[in-house]
Each structure stands twice: as structure tokens, then as C-alpha cells.
Structure 1
Amino acid sequence: MTDVSAQPFPLLAKVRSKTGLVPAQSGLRSLRARWLIGILCVTLILVMFGSLATGPIGISVADFLISYASHIAGGGTGRPDAVSLRDWIVLSQIRLPRILLGALVGASLAVSGAVMQGLFRNPLADPGIVGVSSGAGLGAVGMIVLGGTILAPVVAFFGIYALPLAAFGGGLTTTWLLYRIGTSSGVTSVATLLLAGIALGALAGAFTGILVYMADDQQLRDLTFWGLGSLAGATWTKILSAGPIIGLTLIFMRLFADGLNGLMLGEAAAGHIGIRIQRLKNICIVMVAASTGASVAVSGGIGFVGIVVPHLLRLVIGPDHRYLLPASALLGASLLIVTDAISRTIVAPAELPIGILTALLGAPFFLWLLLKKRGMMGM
């Protein structure tokens, strides 16, 4: 057994050689992955600017940015004189927080899906499909409905972090139960994983229904729209509450890319090359639960991003998590920003919940993937 005392995952060349994941300078696929990540970075910037200019109110983003940059360079603060109050409010208080929150949530869901698929070694794993999002939603709904009564001390103590922490607790509990049910003797059954996810999601949905029944009229209106997934309520406060949690989990999950690569060999072989299997699983489960919980707390139920994005990227750059995770973050952020822009313009002046659009995109893809993998499930 390789000594693992010096560093968490002493893999590097050993894992990459055994899994066929060669160093970037000698692999065509790695070079392609680097190019793709660069392209995705540019795409994300363009998508953000395009979404900033999209809406029922026509605003020249270029003129706004030039005026604001000149204003800041001159030592001014607040709104520049050249920008109208309407444009300032729309861009700085409505569209910009919504775009940034969409980028955070999209990156979180996509990377969480990629990590779960690597952890369970199956492309069908996804926080929304296997019930993790439902568990996180239960925690968030519980905090929303009961935050003014029996959970008031919790809200007073944690402040703006009470909601994402409640969602994290619900997501963590669901993820842990899912892992315990779906894994036996170190082997994860795909069929058991999916069925357990359906059961846990249904159970979480039942308890969520009870809480919704207890909600007052204002809470009920908020929960109905929130349950379908939406970025309509994006504020700087929500970004400050969920952003640090999502950002830290994204960074930490990237650090375990080599460990996830090693799991591609199987748990027994991965253990022989120095991976602390149980430690890796525990950390990844906590990270996925925290990231998904924070996302669900601020955006509601947005499904299928975590299964569509990583699978599409694997077709292009392969399974190397060193590139798959950052590429998933970038593509997931871009996808959710574009989807949100469509949701707020397609039926303007009304707004279509974003979860409906992601389901229309992701459900057929999931069915195709399920049929493709049915031989592995003994169907």
C-alpha cells in the first residue's frame, strides 16, 4: 500500500497512467480539453453580457459600462449622472444579481452532478434525479415555513445563512441515506440507486407537502413559484448567503479530481494505489450536499443540469475530472444563464419558471441515456 500520510491523494502519474489519463502536454484529448475550457470562459462572458442586455426594457449595456467606468475613474460612487435611475436599477439591482446567481447555481448543479457520477461511477447519478435536491428543498421549505415560529432561534442565530444551511442539512441527510442504501460491499447498484432516489424524493416531497399545507398565503405563493425553480427573486443578499458556500465547495471538489479519476479503476484498485476511499466518499458527499443545498435554497428545484452538462462534456473531452469539473462549472453557468434569459422573455411580460425549461431539455436526454445504459441495469 502506498504511503498516504504526506498528502490526501498521492495519485498524479500513477492514477493517470493506470486510467489512461495522460499528462496534458502529451495527450491530444487534454489539449482539446484546455482549448474547450478557454472557449467556455469566453462563452460565459459573452452570455453574461448578452443576458444583461436582454429584457423587456431596452438598455445599451455598452453605454452603461462606459459611463460607469468613467464615473469610477473620476472618483465617483453610486450612480453616474449619465445613467438614468431606471437603467441603473434594472441593471444593477435586477439583472446583474440574477445573472451572477444563475452562474453560481448552474456551476454548482453541473459540478455536483459530475462529482456524483464519478463517485458512483455511473452517468445516471444527478442531485435532482436521485432525490438530493428534494431533500435540500425539504430543509429549505421547513426553514421558510417554520422560521418565524419554532425555528425562529435558528434564524436569529445564523441570519442570512439559516436558509442555505437548512437546505444543506436536508441534502446531506438524503445523500447519506442514498449512499447507504445504494451501496453494498463497496459496490453501488445503479438500479437500487435510482429506485432509492425515487423513494427518498417522494418521501421528501410528502413532508414538503405537509409544510406547504401549513404555510400562510404569502408563503404559499412564494413556495409555489420557488418549487418550480426560478431566479426571479435574485438579490445581492441571496448571493452573499449562498455564494461563499457554493464557491468554496466548487474549489474543494476540484481538489479531489485525482481521487475521482482513481475511482474509475474500481474501489479495490483505487485503494491499492493510495486513495483513501472512505475519506474521499465522505468529503464528496458533504461537498455535494452543501453545494446543492445552497443552490436549492436560493433558486428552488432546477433539475437535469447535473446530468446533461457532464455527460455532454465527457463525449468531447473524456472522463478526466481535472478538466471535466472546471468545464462543467463553466458550461453549467452558461446554460442556466441562457435558460433564465429565455424564461423571462418567452412569455413576457410574464415569466416562465426556469425549472420547466430545464426539465423540457433534460428529461428526453435522461430517457435516452437510461435506454442506452439499460443493459448495465439488467433491464
Structure 2
Amino acid sequence: MTIAAHDADERRIAARALLADPVLTAHRHSEQLALVRKHSGALKSTFARLLGYALVVETGFARLVKTPLSPDAPVRPARRPSGGEFTPRAYAYLALVCAGLLASDVGEQVLVSQLVEQIRADAATTGITIDDTLAERRDLVAAIDFLLAWGVLTETDGSVVAWGERREEALLTVNRSLLPHLVARPLYPLARPELLWADDPNVPDQPRRSLRRKLVENPVVHRGDLSEAERDVLSRERTELTRILEESFGLGLEVRAEGALAYDADERLTDVAFPGTGTVRQAALLLLDALIEVLEPKATGQVILDGRAVTGVLAPWQVVDDKLGDLALRHAKAWRSDVVNDPARFRDEVVHLLASVGLATVVTEGVVVHPAAARYRPSVRDVSATTRAKRRLGADPQEMQDPLFTDETGETA
């Protein structure tokens, strides 16, 4: 490999690391940060020119500041360590914690109790009511955990969880150099959770750049959600677009009549694995097969959603419930009983997964199944029981395994 090819490979690895985790710290990502720092100039230019993202690189951290997601993008909420989504109250606490840490009297280290006092004072100033209930403390702990995960805070003595549950004191160390870059825009004029966005969502964007950003960030880009200018770029400049995505981010481009996707052959960039193992992922994959068989979504099919046409076919809730009920009965012995025995939870988790990977859109009447879902139709291979005679005859070991759910790309669910 030539020096130029080696450097290009390192830049691609560094860019992928930043896309997967927009905050890299020396403590948590020493190798990735070293590559980012080595190629910081080229990476700053690449992200700004191709995606409109700002990259901040310092000695101990790198921060990729992204722009707002497009309206058609799946919602990507902040999550608790347990996997649960942030509540509105947790988002409010996140803003208050950021503001509290930026207070002039907060130094390199701060006690949780001191930080809470600052948060309460800021909340009172802005007219936000804070109660001292266990639920409130857990939302505050979730906000602080978010900053711990990003390396903005470090637990030096004690733990935030212990404070939340038993009021035990904890000492936090603040990454003062990273903290100002966590919030991309001033806090005071914002009425919506735009704290981590780089640009104003109301400013018109360049169609080439906005299309590249949608392909990099969204699991599936629906053609109907593209502007006329973006569709023109996708049609006329597909070869160049394919080259840019591959060279810069290691992504392949797949274009179909209903839309496009940039896929990662290494399966490391996605924050939501699909298909995959587990009850919800297997149920989601099989539900797609059942709905596609009944509804037969086509690239030309459309459903009107909030005044705009969404490509796909509507699966009424009754149909979704019936199909999931059949699947739950069929696979009751293999799937988690705590999930399948709660139909409302089961449906919510399965539908949420399909929506998060862009294969479905949730509406009041049911679920709009996108034609791209056909790409994941599984083929179920039933395996007969292995007899002693078969074993004596040397049956293929592969045939002795349990039944597998395999999607059309050959991946095991």
C-alpha cells in the first residue's frame, strides 16, 4: 500500500469513528482520536464541504457538530444507560446541567449537591418547576449520565446513581475544554431541543450536500422525501456520489425506484442493528414478511401523511396486531415471554424498531410499510430432527442446527 493510500484509509477510519460517536476523548477513544488529530485539516475540510458539519479538534478531544436532521429522518432520541428514551423532563435537565456547569463559580471539580443547587437556582430564574421526587432525581441522573458517557464529566469519588437513589455525595471532574463545545449554539434563544445542532434549520441548504447528509445519516432515503433538486442530483450524479461516499466514509450506495440507501458492509456505523438476534428483531423481520405478503407494497404506492405523499402501503393496526399475534403463538417457545405476553408493549417495540430503520412510518391508522422492506423478506428454513441414522451417515452439521431466519442478503436474523 502506498503512503497516499494508507493516509486515505486512515482518514476514512477517522471519519467513520466521528460519525459513529460525535465526541471522541483521549480517555475513551485514544486510537481514534490520534487518527483524527493526525488528519484534522483534511477531516475538517471533508465534513464541512461534503456534509456541512463543523469539526473541533483539540489535544484531548474531537467534537463533530452536526446539522439538524431532515423532517423525514427517523427520530433519534437521547437514551438512558438502560436504553430507555429521554423524557421531556430529562431533556430539560440536560440543558440545565449544561448551563450549571458553565456557571462562573464551577471549577474543575464539583460536588453533585453543589451542581443541583445551581440547577435549582437556574430553574427558578427561568420559571421551571423542579420537585424533589425520586422520578425527578432519576431524570437528573439520566442527564448527568449522558454527559458522563460523552466524557464531559467523570466520576472521581462516589457515583451519580448513588446520589439519585440514596442521596450519597459524589465528586465530579469537569472536562472544561470540551464543555463549551458540547452546546453548539447559545442556550437562551432556543425554544426547542436544538442544542447539539450546528446550523439554523430554517437556512436553505445545498441539494448536493443535503442529499449526501441524508444518505450518511438515514437508514433509508425515500425518493418522495427528496426535493426536486436532490432527486436531480441523485439521478445525474449517481456515479460521483457513489465514489464520494465510498472514498470518504466507506459506504456503498444502493439506488432503487423507491429511494436509496448508503450501506456499511462492516455493520459498524449503525446505531440500530437490523436484522439481528432477539425477540423484537426477529418479530420485526417476520412481521415485514407477513405484511408484504398481504399488502404487496409497490414503488408507485403512496399514502398521504400530514399533507405529503409517503411511499408505501398502509397496514391498519388490526392487521398488524393479528399478524403479531400469530407470530407470538408460533414462536412462543423461542421468544421472550415477558414481551410477547404483553401485546401492547410487543407491538410498540416492533413498530418502533421498523420506524427507526426507515422501513415503516407510524400513523394514526396504523403503519405505512415502505417498499424497501421487501429487501429484508426472510426465508425460513425448517430443519427436521436429526436421527441417529442420519448421524451415522454423516449428515451435514449445518443441517443439525436450529431453524434460522435469513434475510435476502444472506444475513442471519
TM-score relative to the length of structure 2: 0.25
Greater gyration radius: 2
Which is strand-richer, 1 or 2?
2
Which is helix-richer, 1 or 2?
1
